[in-house]
Structure 1
């Protein structure tokens, strides 16, 4: 009895060998599996999904503890307030230094003219030169201090952006719609950064792999349209050939008898748009090469 079952399966798999069905192949639908990671590490406060759940894009997968990040954010915000006060003082000092420098420059110009006209001694010009140089040094130092505070402000702004990003990442969201096929962590466990929390299989686009003999390869090409039929569907769906293996392999052993195991075939993947998810993961289908 088992021998007859195997022969029937083999006959279906190689239905392309005779008559009108020579371009019909069977395969299993596979959704695209996405492992959703935790972008930051920490203790998992809550896993919001279970295996088998159907979820939508943007659904909450998990909540990672955020207390430490929230405290860091408060600390940086306090530093920003302190820095803003320092900048206000520094800006005031710079304006005062620029006023002093302008006054010293005007005075030096007046004294320089008087000295040139022999109406004032050289010592007066030397004195105002010293005052001018001191004012210029004070202005330069005030400008440098303000520049340094502005650079620190940019650093704190970057820290704020990073902390806001990390806080946002403590809520792990699904980037796709689909069903949860695997779950790797539970509440209270610690997760490392980028470790996958769950695997979600989404069905908006699905694939099916078929196997062709070398004799059939010349009739297929990338992006070629094919028809896909499944039990329960009144009409065939459209797919396209998305990949053709560049090398041959032995036929899949799971459905072959010892006599056909030595046959060399080429794997071909067909991609099917499945926006309504009518094709399910693991569903057997027939692929018809047009």
Structure 2
């Protein structure tokens, strides 16, 4: 019985050893495998003025396009301020034009003493003050217009509403968060490479990226095209979150892989596998 068990163990060891070497042979020596996680930037949006929210136009999970209107404050007071500023511009413009006209008409008369030097100075001072008042009114109008424009929030980039913090009727201060948006572009992967493999990768080098999610149409893991867009010039100790056991005790270099054909299936923190063709040349990326 013992001989049979010993023979069985030997057979299993032989099979295991053969399987190991067969697996090793299947590894592609011209391909480097890296592991990383999806990184997506999140942006907090707020009004640049205070007021009462009139409309919140998006819900959590909604997709937004760059420049799309997202929220509006009650703008009655800001519109009133702009109207007053416009009126002041018109008023000071009329005074400026009148003062300039009087000065231009009377300035030559000081040379033949038709008007005194004191009268000339008075006309000049009046003209200069009228110009200054007009310039100040124009600046005030620009400020009032900007304040009115700030009663609206627009999407700074294409993205997805992650958090809707406020509701219509709420009073918000300048800079108080109203929405948080996850930008859908650019999407990149944070990964790490050891010093031994560092010489095998280049800026702009094309890569294939795989996630653990399966494409139901193909039955295979989702695949994306990308390129290496950043290689850190400084080594660092391997972060605890790095998946590869080979790197956990090493000094490594952080890299960033940009995804070309991003879609809605890529999520913040999602683990990925990166395949780098060591025979590929670096292509320039804009």
Does TM, normalized by the shorter one, top 0.5?
yes
Aligned equivalent of 2:228, options 233, 240, 250: 240
Alignment RMSD, CA only? 3.3
Distance in structure 2 (CA, Å) of the matches to 1:264 and 1:142: 77
Distance 2:266 2:102 in 1: 71
Q: CA deviation at 1:55?
A: 1.0
**Of residues 142, 146, 152 in structure 1, which corresponds to 2:127?**
146
Cα distance in 1 for residues equivalent to 2:247 and 2:229: 25
Equivalent-residue separation in structure 2 for 1:26 and 1:137 (angstroms): 84
Supply the distance in 2 between the matched residues of 1:54 and 1:80 (Cα, whole angstroms): 42
Q: Which structure 1 residue ranges, 5 or more long, are not aligned?
A: 1-14, 106-131
Q: Does 1:42 align with 2:60?
A: no
Match of 2:8 in 1: none
Rounded to whole Å, the distance in 1 between the matches of 2:107 and 2:254 is 77
1:67-105 residue CA offsets vs partner (Å, 9 max, x unmatched): 222222222223223323433442453255336436xx1
Highest Rg: 1 or 2? 1
Residue 60 (1) aligns with residue 69 (2): yes
The reply to whether residue 161 of structure 1 matches residue 142 of structure 2 is yes
Distance apart, 1:262 and its partner CA: 4.7
1:192 and 2:173 correspond: yes
Kept in 2: contact 1:42–1:65 (CA 8 A):
yes
Deviation, structure 1 residue 157 = 0.6
249, 252, 255: which one aligns with 2:237: 249
CA deviation string 1:175-222 (max 9, x = no partner): 111111122222222333233322222223211122333432332344
Query: For 1:62 and 1:44, how far apart are their aligned partners in 2?
Result: 8
Long gaps (5+) in structure 2? 1-22, 216-220, 278-286
Deviates more, 1:160-169 or 1:72-81: 72-81
Specify whether residues 263 and 89 from structure 1 end up closer, same or farther in structure 2 by C-alpha distance, changes over 3 A only. closer
Pairing partner for 2:259 from 267, 272, 276: 272
TM-score scaled to structure 2, two decimals?
Answer: 0.72
SS at match of 1:248: strand
Match of 2:28 among 13, 20, 33: 20
- The SS at the match of 1:238 is strand
How many residue pairs match? The answer is 245
Which residue of 183, 188, 198 maps to 1:207? Answer: 188
1:170 Cα deviation after fit: 0.8
* Deviation readout 1:130-162 (Å, 9 max, x if unpaired): xx2853321221122111111110111111111
Between the aligned partners of 2:27 and 2:124, the Cα distance in structure 1 is 88
Q: Is the 8 A contact 2:228 2:255 kept in 1?
A: no
Q: CA deviation at 1:54?
A: 0.7
Against the structure 1 CA distance between its residues 260 and 244, is the aligned structure 2 distance closer, same or farther, given a 3 Å change threshold? Answer: closer
Choose between structure 1 and 2: higher helix proportion: 1
Task: Mark the CA change 1:260 to 1:207 in structure 2 (over 3 Å): closer, same or farther.
Answer: closer
